[in-house]
Structure 1
Amino acid sequence: MPYAPADAHIRFTLHPDHHPAVIATTTGPTADAARCHLHDHGWRSTGPTTMVLARIDREEPHYTAKAAEQLQQYGFTTEIDPALQEEIDTEWTWANYPMPWCTREEIREVGAEAQRIHDDIAEGRLVIHLHAHDGHTTVAVGSYTTGVRRHVHLHGENHLRLKTDIAFSTEAEAVSEFHRLYSVAVRPGPAPLTDLEQTIRQLLAGETPSTAEETSAPAAEPPVAEPGEHEAFLAALFDEERQWERYRPSDETTIASHESLTVRAKFDHEARHRTDVAWTVAEYGGPVGERLWHATLTAGTPVPLIYTILQHLDAPPLTTADHPDEVLHGAAWHPASHPARTTWVAPGRTIAFESTPHAVADRWTLYGGEDLDRAAWTVRLSAGVPYNLLAQLAGTAADLIPSPTRPSPKPLPAPARGLPATAPAQRTRGR
């Protein structure tokens, strides 16, 4: 094991301009040795005392923790900023991962392979000859220039880019098969860099990431519930909506039970991280009937979405709504189809609504945040959820991000204490 005296100090912090990239600041007489170890773990120098870790799989906190542990074993002193430590402790999940059968560790293995491919291309070890779009994602053919010369086909982008199982002995064979598979879609050279790839290159060069939106107009802040908003909403629910009864089976949990005895909402007071489920809502076929459907909402979910679900359960509309995509199309959300799902993305890419028709537990997913791949909040709804509720949720989500094709909604009169200003007006209950 290498020896390093404890007079070298490495401090790890989240990158201020690109979450969740990590900056390492090295000081002390043996800082050069520490920087060598960090380089082996994927960090790249951006200054005399700073290095940055920016990965295509967005797993920087996880790999920072592993690097810090190894540096400590080598005798270095490490310090992890509290905000970064919180990221390390939060076992987040991809909101729209296309391989739901993978375990968390298997997802990391896929991401690590994508990172190796990304690094090989960026550093010239893998030269891309041609690329194409197969109708769903980007594909490419390339050759390795170091070690045993290999010729490969690639499939996917960013954290999902992998080598296919086809092996080729020559470049001509690989290119010929690529032309056969993708025909007129084939284009010369590598595909244009994705937004994430461009950002990573800027970060590794020590530059501040920039986008076209930043140069023209400031981007809208993604809607996320602030700490305490859910607690305030829960208190107002019992104060203003008398049809809900409160039960407190433990210090951590409050249950809201509707007077019809067919609806229950459980709130977890301990939910803090973006992946923690704060609300579990369920509707039943009768006071002693089977569960018809359920929903889970994480700690950062905007309060208007919670209100929409509970108000629908309290006073469902008398008419049945059509498919929610009509609402989203009208709000200029962009649809994208995949064999396993359909996803609608809001203008500005801060909210997405996803349908997975073959799933049972998570048939519908609404999620949002600054980075949709690492959603700040998630609403999951099971099979059986009424279409009119989905349409109402779609409308509330669309109001959170005003569409460029229509003006922002007019402000409503001041709501009752604790209830969201963007919530729909109270409806007359039909029995």
Structure 2
Amino acid sequence: MTIFRSSRGHRAVLAFALTVALGASAACGDDGSGAAGDTGNEGSGKGEITFWDNNGGVRTDIWKDIIKDFEQKHPDIKVNYVGVAATEVQSKYDTAIQGGGLPDVGGIGAAMLAGIAAQDALEPLDSRLAKSSLTERLNPGMVQSVRAASGGTSLYTLPTSANNGVLYYRTDLFEAAGLAAPTTWTKFFEAADKLTDKGRNKFGYTIRGGAGSVAQALDAMYGQSGITEFWDGDSTTVNAQKNVEALEKYVALYKKNTPSADLNNDFTKMVAQWDSGEIGMMTHNLGSYQDHVKALGPDTFRGIPSPTLDDGTRVQVSNPVDGLGLFKSSKNKAAAWKFIEFAVDHEANSKWNESAGAIPANTDAAKDPWIQKSEPTRLAAEALNDDSTKIVQLPYYLPDWNTISKADNEPNFQKVLLGKMAAKEFLDDLAQQLNKAQAEWKKQQA
């Protein structure tokens, strides 16, 4: 089953997608001196390599399991694992690119791919993939997505997984309140109100106010407004009037239907809060499904695709495809490539994605039985394959995208939540930054 739609020029990054949701200094190959501009070498195909996990702490256990399997198959290669928190990985890569200490292999989400590739830090993988048994066994849409994310020319990561936004809701709380599933935005806002009882510390929703908040807000905006294009010519639609109104309605949930602590919630705090408290709904992605199963059991919650408009149309923003990159400075590229191939092959790719609840990039892994048993993953794939779903393609190809959508604007989003900045002012400022970045990118492509 094809779950991605084709991309359109450089701008079409991802028709399916995939999250969000993805430090420490580590040795690079033999001497740990790798930096941008260092071309490295193939090496012997044996010895030690270093791998940076871009979601350290969250995916550490499954990666260590995969590394153990790899080392059993390749006893002449040792993989040094370094877990880097998703909130720190961008700065860790940037620091290592400038100062040395890049790994041989690193996890890289599409949202940060353009910035890393633009610094000439990654090895193009096209020729290696052409000679690999994986050539015909990777989802073509995911391959196209990561290629487009770096500008549409070379392939700088092998895709490992695709994620998708999910609305998790407590079925037990909904049933007790006599509420229907929050399948539409109208039902979502009704449920947020009805399930809130602040005197008893019960809330209808938990909002993401900390790291990763802007991407989630964009999803809520476009989902409600029904606007299906990120660009109107060379100007972004983020500050269109319908989006302004949608953001105003979304942020009005804060403290009215959400805990006040949400202001500083990144995804780990948000997930932990939802799993332990009496909160009706939470928007995250497929990656936290197993956490909810462990905390709540499989029968007290569901994870469904983003709400639709009342006419049944679903609009959502694209989520970045995650992948593995080979750093150009590696002194043992042959061994590093063996690890990448192993991690993206059927067994390891299926094992990793089952743990994360994400869609495998390996087409054989995507047929495994666990996907049908994981309702959020199955529903996400079905929704994204439905003609009524419209994907707003975020501009991952912009080198400044990750900075603009995170560090540059997350503090201002908190001001909006606190009522210290108007939603329109926030979106106008965001639009100005995006339009400037788009103009600079187009100039570079000319």
TM-score bracket for the superposition, by shorter chain length: under 0.3
TM value normalised by structure 1 = 0.25
Structure with the higher helix share, 1 or 2: 2
TM value normalised by structure 2 = 0.24
Structure with the higher strand share, 1 or 2: 1
